[in-house]
A and B are shown apart, each in its own frame.
Chain A
Amino acid sequence: MMTSGMFWTWFLPGIWVTIQVTIYSAALAAAVAFIVGPLRTSRFWIVRFLAGTYFEIFRGTSALVLMFWMFFALPLFGWQLVPMWAGVSALGLTYGAYGSEIVRGALAAVDPAQREAGIALSFTRFQRLRRIELPQAWPEMIPPFNNLLIELLKGTALVSVITVADMTFAGNLVRLGSNESAPIYTLLLVLYFVIAFVLTRGMRVVERHAKANIGQAPEKQPGFLSRKLSARGESAQAGTQSAGGIG
């Protein structure tokens, strides 16, 4: 079986590192998504173009390659990032690009009459966004954000490759130390699944609150993990994955 010393000194702290990386990169991704998403609906073509370019570049690269590049190539340009921050920035910037598409799509789905009412009441653009459009778009964003959060959680395993001691890294150490690979990798997979399950449940609570806030009843969702998508949801998600050009 596993050497218990390895397990306590590496694996348990590794779980905490995985959770930290998930939280930090989710926060960065959310910030990027809520900045870039509205910018992609700007009335100035140059702003739309720049935000669109950001989206296309970060959606086109592989998160792992970006992470390697930040870890190995950036130091030559003068910035040395701590491994964990290289991982967090790569994940946050990549998933933030996906998130910006969700924000853009949800804003576009708000009834145009709402925007017009805001104009009629002479709200400024920013007030309209903050007081009228975002609150109504927010419940629509939560299910796709949930999917993205799970993808992000799965993505955090990549940081082990650039020597961040997360739970995958610790799992590899335990394998090397004990020559037993089956128990540790099974445990790892189960742990990721449990974290994903907890996140999904949490997001469903958030969704119920968000819908209640704008006076909608929550939909009943099937499936024991409830990450299954409806036909509409699948095509919407397909849209956020990679189709779509600049602008």
Chain B
Amino acid sequence: MNSWDWSNVDTFMPRFWDGLLVTLQALVLGTLIAFSLGLVWAIAQRSENTWIRWPVTAVTEFIRNTPLLVQLFFLFYVLPEWGPAMSPLTTGIIGLGLHYSTYTAEVYRAGINGVPIGQWEAATALNLPKTRTWTAVILPQAIRRVVPALGNYVVSMLKDSPMIAVIGAFEMLGEAQAYSNETFTTEAITIVGVAFICIAYPASLLIRVLERRLVQ
């Protein structure tokens, strides 16, 4: 460590907190999109109507098997040709949310498949309408057991969030990169790397606790 300089750490810290705030903002909003959209995909994939089921499956498989980075470029450079231009952060949040919604859809799907068939039959026997079967019988049981798996994808999303720096959003990596380019130093990028471990490791411990409490 011949070139570590604590004064660089001091000057970078205010910008680090700004970046952390943007990262968390992207993470929270992206998670909201991913969780809600994923549920929509999962239910649509079980639809009896082929014209809903097939296109939704095709689109989610496509999004899930292509890189988030290229999707972000697509949203940022191609979409404004047809619709309104969005800020880098908004684009990033939508990109993260959309990409991870295809993963959460698989998680919900696994959870829904895990609900015993008798529950469906009981709902039919009680003559419950379709919406009530979903909201009162199936989803409460399905979601409970997939909460840890969903949590894992939040951690994954946190680790993918630096990608939005590439389209110009100033989250942690973006701030570190800007600072490093101005000062020709590398402390900032090291701090950000350590920060990711400091957030991701306790988060995964928390998920482990959840796993033990909810799944059985």
| Minimum C-beta distance from A183 to chain B (A) | 9
Task: Provide the bound-state CA to CA distance between A182 and B75, in Å.
Answer: 10
A72 with B186: in contact, given A65-B173, A235-B149 (CB under 8 Å)?
A: yes
Contacts of B43 in A (CB 8 A): none
Contacts of A157 in B (CB 8 A): 67-70
| Minimum C-beta distance from B104 to chain A (A) | 11
CB-defined interface of A166-195 with B at 8 Å, one 1/0 digit per residue?
Answer: 001001100100000110011011001100
| Minimum C-beta distance from A86 to chain B (A) | 13
Contact indicator A185/B110 (Cβ below 8 Å): no
CB-defined interface of B162-194 with A at 8 Å, one 1/0 digit per residue?
Answer: 110010000001001100100000100110110
B216 at the interface (CB under 8 A from A): no
Contact indicator A230/B110 (Cβ below 8 Å): yes
A225 with B156: in contact, given A66-B193, A161-B166 (CB under 8 Å)?
A: no
B48 at the interface (CB under 8 A from A): no
CB-defined interface of B65-100 with A at 8 Å, one 1/0 digit per residue?
Answer: 111111101100110010000000000000000000
| Minimum C-beta distance from B171 to chain A (A) | 11
Contact indicator B211/A189 (Cβ below 8 Å): no
A168 with B66: in contact, given A182-B78, A189-B74, A238-B149 (CB under 8 Å)?
A: no
Contact indicator A62/B152 (Cβ below 8 Å): no
| Minimum C-beta distance from A98 to chain B (A) | 10
Contacts of A181 in B (CB 8 A): 73-74, 77-78, 81
A235 with B110: in contact, given A73-B189, A158-B69, A243-B208 (CB under 8 Å)?
A: yes
Contact indicator A242/B69 (Cβ below 8 Å): no
Contact indicator B65/A150 (Cβ below 8 Å): yes
Segment among B33-41, B119-127, B131-139, B195-203 that sits at the interface with chain A = B195-203
Contacts of B158 in A (CB 8 A): 62
Contact indicator B70/A69 (Cβ below 8 Å): no
Task: Provide the bound-state CA to CA distance between A193 and B186, in Å.
Answer: 36
Task: Provide the bound-state CA to CA distance between A238 and B3, in Å.
Answer: 40
Task: Provide the bound-state CA to CA distance between A185 and B77, in Å.
Answer: 9
A20 at the interface (CB under 8 A from B): no
Q: List 10 A-B contacts (CB under 8 A).
A: A57-B197, A62-B159, A64-B162, A65-B173, A68-B189, A185-B77, A189-B71, A193-B62, A242-B203, A243-B208
Contact indicator A59/B153 (Cβ below 8 Å): no
A65 with B192: in contact, given A181-B78, A235-B149, A238-B149 (CB under 8 Å)?
A: yes
Contacts of A185 in B (CB 8 A): 70, 73-74, 77-78
Task: Provide the bound-state CA to CA distance between A185 and B69, in Å.
Answer: 11
A56 with B201: in contact, given A61-B159, A150-B65 (CB under 8 Å)?
A: yes
| Minimum C-beta distance from A33 to chain B (A) | 18
Looking at the complex, which one of B71, B160, B204 makes contact with A242 (CB distance below 8 Å)? B204
| Minimum C-beta distance from B133 to chain A (A) | 20
Contacts of A228 in B (CB 8 A): 106, 109
Which residues of A approach B to under 8 Å, CB–CB? 56-57, 59-66, 68-69, 72-73, 76-77, 150, 153-158, 160-161, 168, 171-172, 175, 181-182, 185-186, 188-189, 192-193, 196-197, 223-225, 227-231, 233-235, 238, 241-245
B107 at the interface (CB under 8 A from A): yes
Contacts of B70 in A (CB 8 A): 157, 168, 171, 185, 188-189, 192
Contact indicator B66/A192 (Cβ below 8 Å): yes
Contacts of B208 in A (CB 8 A): 243-245
Contact indicator A234/B66 (Cβ below 8 Å): no
Contact indicator A62/B207 (Cβ below 8 Å): no
| Minimum C-beta distance from B215 to chain A (A) | 8
Beyond contacts A154-B66, A185-B78, A243-B211: 20 other A-B pairs, Cβ-Cβ < 8 A, are A57-B197, A60-B201, A61-B200, A64-B160, A68-B189, A69-B190, A72-B186, A73-B190, A160-B69, A168-B67, A168-B69, A171-B70, A172-B73, A181-B78, A225-B65, A227-B65, A234-B107, A235-B110, A243-B152, A245-B208
B30 at the interface (CB under 8 A from A): no
Between A157, A225, A245, the greatest number of chain B beta carbons within 10 A of the residue's beta carbon is seen for A157
- Cβ < 8 Å to A, chain B residues 1-20: 1-3
| Minimum C-beta distance from B123 to chain A (A) | 20
Contact indicator A238/B152 (Cβ below 8 Å): yes
Between B70, B153, B190, B207, the greatest number of chain A beta carbons within 10 A of the residue's beta carbon is seen for B70
